[in-house]
């Protein structure tokens, strides 16, 4: 368990909160967390990035891969509260249209819950 990544379940939505800048071990752990959610039939993931100061290419790859796999099973991965620098990194990587972005966790859950049903 990585103290920098916290998970919580609210109904059908898995919330993954990144608490600080990720090191290489944390990126691997994030990948495992997202994979485990999918293995447990998780379809909707909210990734809270409020505490993340920047996003590396490795982190973007993990997030994009998880989003693609969730989309293949009619699920979704959305981002919550990315910092300006994270939003810029997503823009430079041409990923801004790949992830719906919400101002807070509750708004993301409401949108995802509407998708479920």
pLDDT tens figures, 53-93: 888 888 889 999 999 999 998 999 999 999 999 999 989 98
CA distances 36 to 49, 93, 111, Å, are 19, 26, 23
Per-domain residue ranges of the chain: 5-112
Do residues 43 and 76 make contact, with C-beta atoms less than 8 angstroms apart? yes
Tell the CATH topology of 5-112: Transcription Regulator spoIIAA (3.30.750)
Do residues 102 and 48 make contact, with C-beta atoms less than 8 angstroms apart? no
pLDDT at 114 over 90: no
Q: Can you tell me whether residue 57 is helix, strand or coil?
A: helix
Q: What is the pTM of this model?
A: 0.87
């Amino acid at each position: 368990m990585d103290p920098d990544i916290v998970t919580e379940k609210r109904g059908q939505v898995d919330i993954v909160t990144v608490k600080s800048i990720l090191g290489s071990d944390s990126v691997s752990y994030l990948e495992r967390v997202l994979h485990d959610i999918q293995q447990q039939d998780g379809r909707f993931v909210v990734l809270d990035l409020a505490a993340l100061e920047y996003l590396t290419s490795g982190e973007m790859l993990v997030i994009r891969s998880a989003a693609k796999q969730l989309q293949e099973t009619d699920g979704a991965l959305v981002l919550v509260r990315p910092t300006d620098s994270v939003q810029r990194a997503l823009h430079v990587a041409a990923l801004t249209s790949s992830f719906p972005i919400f101002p807070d966790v509750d708004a993301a859950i409401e949108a995802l819950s509407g998708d479920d049903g």
